[in-house]
Structure 1
């Protein structure tokens, strides 16, 4: 594969100069060419086409047009990105790299940054998708310029900033099916010549997509940004934000099973629905298991299934400042920040009850010195500090079958120094080198208990356990860039990334896991042709992913020395991932725009071996090979370990093909008005949703299409849009898993067909 990567570089180098001869190299959008997008993915402002990394930039207007107000829908605009709702948290996968866990020990392998601030908790990437300048999705390990846990990439959400000397008001009101109501308003206020204030807010209220009201969306958000610019050389931007997330949260449906008949997936029947419970009880009777009952209360003789009382009551707060100063020889940027998340939710998404209270407070400070763009030696040098404290309660209950409850008190501190250099060897030929040294310290004070039949439903917590971990790592990047023409860039690099180890709930000393690492080999080309009307970008990559942190249902040792069922994270995986991504944009006239993004992804686990736990001793349902079994608690009960080998299986959440294609046309109307019509489709091949590899948990190939029609007023002062999303009304899985013990599959679905009307104004 590496030979293929270098061959692609040579081919691009041979062709690019010929193509670039017709390229003017300027922004000619007014004459029908493509506009330029400025990004900060490499911690300096530069054209997207001159950034020698794989980054997809989605503008704020694209997000509005797509109706995206929550994180889970971002993936339909970025083929490489898979977003999974997991109860009250969000998991990200980029090109097959991600984290599939849902308790307070979880950390994403894709860094999420809001307004330049790293957000530590998986519960917290919510309520920020409004009044945005753009979203940047950076693909591949970001072990040099970014902070924690950017093994597979980073997502940068950048809000609009205040504008000096200009009063402006903009807003959007939207109504759609499922009684969907959305409102957004932003005001820009000039406060003299050197100060400006921008205040924005959003309210979302939508009914659930499945029966019993789950998969709803309810929340209120507000943000205030104050820009102070005392001179042309210095500026300070203060940002405060708040979001309340309510509603019932993500839900689940029964997936088709070979063991028993379930309601049709297209009917979107919640697992708390009486129809689903009846199907489960019929299956339980064949196993001579007690019947299932809905709700939080468990009558005598029942085993709890899923209730209708799930809820989200999450609050998120943030304060940050960005100080920028022109030092003459470079720009100094200092970003102190504080964030707090108060997550409290009850979910039945995994097929059983989970209750989590996770109060987390983080403080961070990043300082960077960035050289000017016109120097022969350009640099970004910086330091990073991060401190987080968590106080949590995690309660997972499979009724009288199994209960796991633990109360982690976690502390994390991360310190890093980093730098990246770009040196012009000759005109149009550059070398890149960068490195980052990171030290992370983690500690825990955790009380836990696991139990089940024949014990009490809610056994008391055991004595608290403590633990301290320290990880250090140097990650680096080296590469070369070549300007093959006025608007053609070739690049090749090798980059590394890591995600530190941590704890999971178990008794010491075997309750921790080591860091995971990724080395990426990349070649790419970015080009603009034919008077800035055609854009062709290409990247090929090979990733070597070692010591993968894999979470599965295993055996945890309880206070009495016996093993019980629990969630384990171990360094069980090793994989190789390679592929290529091609992007084309074509604007033949000022009224037409074509988009095409194609990703080919081939991921395989070279090694993936786990020891799964069965509290009853019944065989574990899996699509992998069971290589052996043994008693977990000899002479006490029938619980067993099953050794499972999934080596050779494809990496999870890795569709071999992912395609995003779209077209829009503007019809000029009288009175300086326009009518914009657009359509886009997201096409993906099949993939497994988790590392259990049951055929029921595999999402087949699908196509989902959206369309819109927008009437734009003079000078874009107002607009009216009619839209329809998921025209095919396709049932597509966002998440799939197996309820342990009785082993029936459950899944969470992406939104069905939705439609509505959106009215906007900009004064």
Structure 2
């Protein structure tokens, strides 16, 4: 497939070039054609792109439209060493630059690539979904921007600059788009000069589209012959009873316009520019954005599963859903930019912004189930009971009873050393953001020189305050290997983040050619949780009494007690099936919070750091600009949710330290071929320490002994004498896991980036980039390889390491330890490239015909640090190529244009997110091949 895709792209490019050379018309020729100058603000000054000592890529609205860019998710292929992914469960946009990223999308996490709107920092990664329309320019600066752009820009920064009102003339533009999957888009803008001091600009966009998934209702009703006797009447068998096993409280039939993958979003912006004097200007911008799209999904990766015992029986985009997607996300942004020429030599800039992001979201995280053909299909059961053990179970000591595996092929698993493993029949995980409200105020005050002096300077202060609240619920009735009910609610009424920084940067012009740069920034960050509460219940034990009473149950059929009545010790009369559930049950009802104890999440932390940059730039001649720098980056530390590590009211917040890096960079920017070719290149080396990584981890395993303090209140009589050490311990009765962020180690990222923009002839243009990246893990303590250990053994792939015991933080911890030193960091293809070719036929009366072909190729990359690269369990994305084509008919005299386009011509299955499913890989996939037509008119 990959070779075929490469041939398609190559042949399309060759044909387009040949056609353009042979068919080029004389009308419209310009002997002085060249490349227009691009102005950027990546140094907090307006400078020419070709004389800016930063690795920055810049795109205007026309370039974004040509590439079909709607929001940040669409821009990754346009920038060297940049990948962008979407976390479907919480709409978090993950930006990866030069192999560095952050995957903490919570209300207190921090990105690694700073997002700015009109120069003002935006703290939440969900802001990347805001629509990019009517923009003057998008600037992506790579490498640490810690001196001037500050907070959390260790890998780079993105600045979306909206189009400003102008005083030139009253004008506007409107565009309509229609395409496959009922794609409908309308957008436009209007500029109004009120007088010579005041101008207004308004812009709007509305976009809808149907899903490309084939979504059906999930009403799974399990029939399971556990003893293989041909019937489902045995003691541990499960008979289909006509009632779905999975939760039906939210299940409903939805149309293609409301299914996962569909689109319903809109935006509006109003800008005002006021220039009362020649020395003062004020820009006010108000933004509103709403996204009611249901969100995306993770699906079984059928392409990888082909030919295995877990091969897909359905098409790649078939999904079975019992929790239809729901989202309502609104963003309000108010920004002001005041510029005042205090003197001829000094200018003041003041930027103040307020943003509010509100979101509720429901996500089905279990659209794929374990395959009945899997040899380990079944249940491993651990259950608690005060009565005698049933037949077939061992133990019966009045506390914990181990029941046997019920699996398809237990002897085979035992021969491979995995007799204690089972793929439970299905899961039913749903994730709900009941509400979230993120409010932030950001301000930055600057003074900077604007004289002809050899010494130029800029200094300023930055302040940001966030006030966030959220309630996030997790419901998994079939959890944790033993198929136990799990319910969690994280209620955070006030999470505060504050950041205060001061910065200064100097540029000294040694002579007409050489300039030296030095800058410093000091940042102080604080984070605080006030009154946060975490609720959790798992299994049939304290403190869960009352959850299974008829008036309060959120549970349905009880797979932990297959063949038994779940009545022991809890007073229930179940099992309660999906046909009696209602919306007051489980975490969906407020009463859930009244039935459980909770852990107090109140906590506070503070971190400070100075970052600096030194550099030079050298104008060798009018056509060659050289630059180099050494810069440091810093990302704030933090903490997670308070977690009861033993179900015994002993908690931990899992604090983590700041992330730091230092980057060495050399680059050049050259104008060649009489101004018809711009070539920009750089080499870089980044040393990154204390990298922050967010992942789900088992923090305490079943059977672990947790030593309790001397004043511990043992109200449940659960403590015992520790078998090692001194004092009393609580023996943990289940695996306890949570989402945590930790400082995991160090990496060294080095690479080469080359961008080009070439006008080979009047009417022709070739631009793009090529990149090389070596993102290598250099230190990672106590890493473990647990990647599909059983499936690797069953498929004859390289086995996981044997279990060994290491002493970590004074505790003996068993695991499959494997060094990941030398592996590539996730989302880091070694080679990648994008090339866009555009030709213009100048016909008559101002009519122009313009085909555009854009091709992107990238090397293999992984989504985890283990870099497993074998067969159906490959933990990433193989090398792939995609291409987009478009044909535009433009009437320059009448100011209208029509465009036909096809995106993803090769119909490539592109993974932008991948993780483990129940026995197989699953992935979040990009959109398949689609096409459409646009019409726009200026007036």
- 1:10-159 alignment, distance < 5 Å: 31-87=32-88, 88-159=91-162
Please say if 1:725 is aligned against 2:728: no
Alpha carbons of structure 1 residues 196 and 252: separation in structure 2 relative to 1, 3 Å: same
Bigger mean CA deviation after superposition, 563-572 or 134-143: 563-572
What residue ranges of structure 1 are gaps of 5+ in the alignment? 1-27, 274-293, 296-306, 633-638
- 1:112-261 alignment, distance < 5 Å: 112-212=115-215, 213-255=259-301, 256-257=304-305, 260-261=309-310
- In 2: Cα distance, 1:268 partner to 1:244 partner: 30
Bigger mean CA deviation after superposition, 645-654 or 83-92: 645-654
How far 1:691 sits from its partner (Å)?
A: 3.1
Bigger mean CA deviation after superposition, 493-502 or 254-263: 254-263
- In 2: Cα distance, 1:113 partner to 1:263 partner: 42
Contact 1:624–1:692 (CA under 8 A) maintained in structure 2? no
Please say if 1:353 is aligned against 2:430: yes
Partner of 2:414: none
Alpha carbons of structure 1 residues 231 and 482: separation in structure 2 relative to 1, 3 Å: same
RMSD over equivalenced CA pairs, Å: 2.8
Please say if 1:398 is aligned against 2:476: yes
How far 1:500 sits from its partner (Å)?
A: 0.5
Aligned mate of 2:859, from 666, 685, 694: 685
- In 1: Cα distance, 2:661 partner to 2:847 partner: 51
- In 2: Cα distance, 1:623 partner to 1:422 partner: 56
Aligned mate of 2:354, from 319, 338, 346: 338
Aligned mate of 2:498, from 399, 403, 413: 413
- In 2: Cα distance, 1:596 partner to 1:361 partner: 38
Contact 1:553–1:612 (CA under 8 A) maintained in structure 2? no
Partner SS state of residue 534, structure 2: strand
- In 2: Cα distance, 1:452 partner to 1:197 partner: 57
Partner of 1:666: 840
Contact 2:468–2:495 (CA under 8 A) maintained in structure 1? yes
Contact 1:627–1:644 (CA under 8 A) maintained in structure 2? no
Please say if 1:582 is aligned against 2:725: no
Contact 2:785–2:801 (CA under 8 A) maintained in structure 1? no
Contact 2:60–2:137 (CA under 8 A) maintained in structure 1? yes
- In 2: Cα distance, 1:105 partner to 1:500 partner: 11
Aligned mate of 2:513, from 419, 428, 439: 428
Q: Cα deviation per residue 1:490-525 (whole Å; 9 max; x = unaligned)?
A: 111100101101111234554211100111000001
How far 1:350 sits from its partner (Å)?
A: 7.6
> TM-score, normalised on structure 1?
0.86
Contact 1:554–1:613 (CA under 8 A) maintained in structure 2? no
Alpha carbons of structure 1 residues 259 and 663: separation in structure 2 relative to 1, 3 Å: closer
How far 1:378 sits from its partner (Å)?
A: 1.2
Please say if 1:599 is aligned against 2:791: no
Alpha carbons of structure 1 residues 544 and 715: separation in structure 2 relative to 1, 3 Å: farther
- In 2: Cα distance, 1:30 partner to 1:715 partner: 21
Q: Cα deviation per residue 1:69-116 (whole Å; 9 max; x = unaligned)?
A: 122111121232211110221111001100123433332111011111
Bigger mean CA deviation after superposition, 642-651 or 236-245: 642-651
Q: Cα deviation per residue 1:613-640 (whole Å; 9 max; x = unaligned)?
A: 99xx9999999965756799xxxxxx98
Contact 2:107–2:495 (CA under 8 A) maintained in structure 1? no
Contact 1:540–1:579 (CA under 8 A) maintained in structure 2? yes
Partner of 1:647: 821
Q: Cα deviation per residue 1:543-572 (whole Å; 9 max; x = unaligned)?
A: 001100011221347999756111111001
- In 1: Cα distance, 2:78 partner to 2:657 partner: 34
Partner of 2:666: 523
How far 1:760 sits from its partner (Å)?
A: 0.7
- In 2: Cα distance, 1:179 partner to 1:127 partner: 21
How far 1:466 sits from its partner (Å)?
A: 1.6
Bigger mean CA deviation after superposition, 161-170 or 399-408: 399-408
How far 1:698 sits from its partner (Å)?
A: 1.2
Partner of 1:710: 888
Aligned mate of 1:311, from 309, 315, 326: 326
- In 2: Cα distance, 1:224 partner to 1:443 partner: 35
Contact 1:442–1:502 (CA under 8 A) maintained in structure 2? yes
Contact 1:625–1:646 (CA under 8 A) maintained in structure 2? no
Contact 1:430–1:482 (CA under 8 A) maintained in structure 2? yes
Alpha carbons of structure 1 residues 618 and 676: separation in structure 2 relative to 1, 3 Å: closer
Contact 1:676–1:710 (CA under 8 A) maintained in structure 2? yes
- In 2: Cα distance, 1:626 partner to 1:29 partner: 67
Partner SS state of residue 123, structure 1: helix
Alpha carbons of structure 1 residues 575 and 631: separation in structure 2 relative to 1, 3 Å: closer
- In 1: Cα distance, 2:154 partner to 2:898 partner: 41
- In 2: Cα distance, 1:335 partner to 1:358 partner: 26
Please say if 1:476 is aligned against 2:626: no
How far 1:128 sits from its partner (Å)?
A: 3.0
Contact 2:800–2:816 (CA under 8 A) maintained in structure 1? no
- In 2: Cα distance, 1:762 partner to 1:230 partner: 30
> TM-score, normalised on structure 2?
0.70
Contact 1:624–1:645 (CA under 8 A) maintained in structure 2? no
Partner of 1:762: 938
Contact 2:639–2:653 (CA under 8 A) maintained in structure 1? no
How far 1:220 sits from its partner (Å)?
A: 1.1
Q: Cα deviation per residue 1:278-336 (whole Å; 9 max; x = unaligned)?
A: xxxxxxxxxxxxxxxx52xxxxxxxxxxx3x1122111101111000112212211011
Q: Cα deviation per residue 1:671-710 (whole Å; 9 max; x = unaligned)?
A: 0111111111011001002335444331000111111111
Partner SS state of residue 129, structure 2: coil
Partner SS state of residue 98, structure 1: coil
Partner of 1:263: 312
Please say if 1:543 is aligned against 2:628: no
Structure with larger Rg: 2
Aligned mate of 2:929, from 748, 753, 762: 753
- In 2: Cα distance, 1:592 partner to 1:547 partner: 47
Q: Cα deviation per residue 1:326-360 (whole Å; 9 max; x = unaligned)?
A: 12212211011100000111223586422123211
How far 1:424 sits from its partner (Å)?
A: 0.8
Partner of 1:635: none
Partner of 2:528: 443
Partner of 1:21: none
Alpha carbons of structure 1 residues 264 and 553: separation in structure 2 relative to 1, 3 Å: same
Alpha carbons of structure 1 residues 184 and 349: separation in structure 2 relative to 1, 3 Å: farther
What residue ranges of structure 2 are gaps of 5+ in the alignment? 1-28, 216-258, 368-428, 480-485, 545-554, 556-585, 587-591, 644-650, 701-705, 707-712, 719-729, 808-812
Partner SS state of residue 64, structure 1: helix
Alpha carbons of structure 1 residues 116 and 202: separation in structure 2 relative to 1, 3 Å: same
- In 2: Cα distance, 1:690 partner to 1:117 partner: 32
- In 2: Cα distance, 1:469 partner to 1:95 partner: 29
- 1:626-645 alignment, distance < 5 Å: 628=803, 645=819
Partner SS state of residue 124, structure 1: helix
Contact 2:601–2:641 (CA under 8 A) maintained in structure 1? no
Alpha carbons of structure 1 residues 390 and 376: separation in structure 2 relative to 1, 3 Å: same
How far 1:750 sits from its partner (Å)?
A: 1.3
Contact 1:554–1:612 (CA under 8 A) maintained in structure 2? no
- In 1: Cα distance, 2:785 partner to 2:832 partner: 35
Partner of 1:701: 879
Partner of 2:336: 321
Contact 2:310–2:920 (CA under 8 A) maintained in structure 1? no
Contact 2:791–2:919 (CA under 8 A) maintained in structure 1? no
